[in-house]
Structure 1
């Protein structure tokens, strides 16, 4: 008998048009190797913050929404934290979802992309790829630990397999907003053939209460969200490269 695969699941939710196409069941897995300054979910940093959950248990929860999701043209998204910190669990959950005829999406920074074997990627219909920055130094400032090259390598691997990608870029005034950094992200995106769109996500401080509850300092507590002029300029930089922007 095959061993039961268990993961650490922080929570789940139903979303519309945010975490992939249509209405989606989104499972947030616990554990992430990065410590992004703008992270709004510090409660997902450690796997111990999640609930031990077997593949069967999570799939049983998904089945409760199966008909509704299918009628609404949606699917299942595994997010985090960083789902590729638990690749075996992710692979099995996605395979079960595909067997149910559900569209599957993986929301990842790509930093742990090398952990996703071909069998896992075979079960993925869409990747929501968070490109933190295009400049390696800025990437390190944002993540406080990571390197940009694994994300780029993962993006090209996805493209080679023909997997559609929606890129996400968080716009933070004073951190990720320089014209040079945005241009570098656009360069990366323009070189990946299966990127369908870029979502420019305005920074917000909605997670500040979570930091306070955990006794942590929020690094961007004094940073204001980007204004409309900055958003227009950044979106325009992507559009000028022929990239679809949302």
Structure 2
């Protein structure tokens, strides 16, 4: 069964849906095209061992806000975001953990004339209804690992829901930017990356691939939360390894793989 965080509704309409917001970033530059207003929602169905924002995984660390309140804040940045070729990105955590709230914010952003982006692992892709996807211009899809056993060991979840969501997005011809975190000794199997590259090319809707080298910048958050950080001794991905992996995706048909 898909996981959904209970959200409050009001007879006045979608704008009164409430959700748990972890934080916002008004000038994001790495979560979609242009300069973006990034809304980080609380809650996630996965527990990725390399997560650099583990605090967003727990709903108890969020602040209750209404979609109307969030949209009023976003509206103040509308002209700037449009002039900067940007828009609004819903991230987290995973926004599909709170689908009603995420859907209401996306719909409101479309009414404001803003480009919309959904940043998700796809693990809860079944929570993304037709209306939500119609209000989404771009999906940033995080594929954590290509091997199902490796995926489960890394995230605690199953890979299949993400692949099914990717196939659904392909059938809708919904633009996707694929994201892959490169962790030495964990997600750096070049044969598996070759397979992922071929699969992404076959989907037909993946516009670009971002290879994100693993780093240790989020380790202090694990310590603050008193969580067991199992990758503390893993080195950061070298520039040479990252470029080798980007080369695989470039040869697979993704020339924009430059990050």
Q: Secondary structure at the match of 1:191?
A: helix
Aligned-partner Cα distance in 2 for 1:82–1:89? 12
Distance in 1 between residues matched to 2:160 and 2:27, nearest whole Å: 31
For the aligned residue pairs, the C-alpha RMSD in angstroms reads 1.1
CA shift for structure 1 position 140: 0.9
Report the more deviating stretch, 76-85 or 176-185.
176-185
**Distance in 2, Cα, partners of 1:230 & 1:194:** 26
Structure 2 Cα separation of the partners of residues 28 and 207 of structure 1: 16
Report deviation, 1:217: 2.2
Say which is worse superposed, 234-243 or 104-113, in terms of deviation: 234-243
* Residue of structure 2 equivalent to 1:216: 227
SS at match of 2:71: helix
Q: How does 1:175-194 map to 2 (within 5 A)?
A: 175-194=186-205
Q: Once structures 1 and 2 are overlaid, which stretch shifts more, 13-22 or 206-215?
A: 13-22
Note the 1:1-246 alignment, pairs <5 A.
1-2=11-12, 4-143=16-155, 145-244=156-255, 245-246=257-258
Q: Where in structure 1 are there 5+ consecutive unaligned residues?
A: none
Residue 238 of structure 1: how far off its partner (Å): 1.2
Taking structure 1 as the reference length, the TM-score comes to: 0.96
Off by >6 Å, runs of 4+ in structure 1: none
For 2:157 and 2:194, locate their aligned partners in 1 and report how far apart those are by CA, in whole Å. Answer: 20
In the TM superposition, residue 180 of structure 1 has moved relative to its aligned partner by 2.1
Q: Distance in 2 between matches of 1:50 and 1:10?
A: 4
Measured against aligned partners, the alpha-carbon deviations of 1:156-208 in whole angstroms (never above 9, x if no partner) come to 11111121000000000000001122123213212211100000000011111
Distance (whole Å) between structure 2 residues aligned to residue 14 and residue 137 of structure 1: 38
- Does the CA contact (< 8 Å) of 1:152 and 1:188 recur in 2? no
User: What displacement does 1:150 show?
Assistant: 0.9
Q: CA deviation at 1:60?
A: 1.2
Whether the 8 Å contact between 1:59 and 1:96 is mirrored in structure 2 is yes
Choose 220-229 or 76-85, whichever is displaced more. 220-229
Q: Deviations over 1:82-137 (max 9, x none)?
A: 10011111111000000010000000000000111101101000000001111111
TM-score normalized by structure 2?
0.92
Report if the CA contact (8 A) 2:71-2:108 is conserved. Answer: yes
Separation of aligned partners in 1, 2:171 and 2:27: 29
Q: Is the 8 A contact 1:134 1:183 kept in 2?
A: no
**Cα drift, residue 15 of structure 1:** 3.5
Helix, strand or coil at the partner of 2:144: coil
